[in-house]
Amino acid sequence: MKRIPVAGPSITAREIDYVTQAVTSAWYGDAGMFHGRFEAAFASHCGRRHAISLPSCTSALHLALMALDIGPGDEVIVPDATWIASVAPVRYVGATPVFADIDRDSWCLSPEAFEAAITPRTKAAIVVDLYGSMPDWDRLNAVAAANGVALIEDAAEAIGSRWRDRPAGAFGVMSAFSFHGSKTLTTGEGGMLVLDDETLLERVQRLRDHGRAPGDTMFFNEEVGWKYKMSSMQAALGLAQLERVDELVDGKRRIFSWYREALSDWNGGRLNPDVDGLYNSYWMSTVVLDREIGMTKEKLIPLMRQEGIDVRPFFYPLSQLPAFRDTPEAAIARDRNTVAATVTPYGINLPSALSLTKDDIERVASALKKLTL
């Protein structure tokens, strides 16, 4: 029986050609030949002035927080339902993460919960575009502006998504992307930080290169920084993928449309958000089961895997993870974040690899129906 993967990229001759060029030519004086092209094209895609290629989205968020001088004594609001990489950098800089509830319709940060979580110590919020969905950015921006809170967009999962015709990556003071091997656009591992502010740009460039000023050729370190750089081969792969980004996003949306068609007669749950103003790129086609059928993700996932179908759990609430659950902030979150607590136990990411066929999707849908009767 063919095993159906949960994620996987689309690689063509273009990617192979660009990476081969990088391996053979992108050294010494030409080491940045693909970085500049990739960064310029990516900034343009997001409607931003600048883009900085990095080894991961996690490093992008880390640099964003440091550039904003966030540290001990500061609070950073994050949605309770997201991957740990969205919040780990808050701990890296010594700040306190505050877990706010998600919206039931979008699965992203609730504007009401965001506003309720703000205190005099709140310096920023990391706003996650979950699984390709996006929050109500209009309302979040209004709340942030009224309270002097900086917004950082975690668009790791949302390349190709749009909110009221503005692309993911266009929101907040800075936006971070992931190019992990599971993502719609991949460099194997990698990330990007996009922004407009020149002062923040200079700060990020210095911090990501061991504290060297941008353009330094004397190896003169003005402070201790980090080594957060992308390789030439990754940049080449990313540029080739970006030149095909519309095709890649169309592939994700086509997969979702096949699920919607195959599950049109199924009443056991609901698929990804389709809210007003959102153009969803559907990085991961996802289903949240109805509680009434008595099936949680912990029960369903091993059964699907027995059918030869790889699936993933909807992210656990951060406030329930061992990494955070003993903190006072997590205890508060578990009491008040009712949507995260009632949605996440019943969610699974369905196979969404770009190589999947309509027959594959129909097989997944048939197994899901059979197992949730």
Six-digit token string for 171? 């929101």
Q: What is the mean pLDDT of the chain?
A: 98
Which amino acid, residue 367? A
For the segment 83-122, what is each residue's pLDDT rounded down to a tens digit? Answer: 999 999 999 999 999 999 999 999 999 999 999 999 999 9
Q: Which residue intervals of the chain bear CATH 3.40.640.10?
A: 13-242
Q: What is the rounded distance in angstroms from the CA atom of residue 56 to the CA atom of residue 237?
A: 15
Q: Which of 183, 227, 299, 370 is catalytic?
A: 183
pLDDT band for position 141 (50/70/90)? very high
pLDDT confidence of residue 332: 98
Scanning the chain, the segments in alpha helix (DSSP H) are 13-25, 35-46, 57-67, 88-92, 111-117, 137-147, 198-207, 232-242, 245-262, 297-306, 328-336, 338-343, 358-371
For the segment 232-254, what is each residue's pLDDT rounded down to a tens digit? Answer: 999 999 999 999 999 999 999 99
245-371 architecture in CATH? Answer: Alpha-Beta Complex (3.90)
pLDDT confidence of residue 166: 99
Question: Does position 51 have pLDDT exceeding 90, yes or no?
Answer: yes
Residue with tokens 């941008």: 214
Topology (CATH) of 13-242? Aspartate Aminotransferase; domain 2 (3.40.640)
For the segment 330-352, what is each residue's pLDDT rounded down to a tens digit? Answer: 999 999 999 999 999 999 999 99
Handedness of CA 336, 341, 344, 346 (dihedral sign): negative
Six-digit token string for 118? 């703000």
Question: Does position 373 have pLDDT exceeding 90, yes or no?
Answer: no
Confirm whether 358 is a catalytic residue. Answer: no
pLDDT confidence of residue 261: 99
Task: Count CB neighbours of 286 within 10 A.
Answer: 26
Which amino acid, residue 90? V
Q: Which residue intervals of the chain bear CATH 3.90.1150.10?
A: 245-371
In the chain, % of residues over pLDDT 70:
100
* CB-based contacts of 244, cutoff 8 Å, min separation 6: 10, 12, 14
For the whole prediction, is pTM greater than 0.85? yes
Question: Does position 291 have pLDDT exceeding 90, yes or no?
Answer: yes
pLDDT band for position 1 (50/70/90)? confident
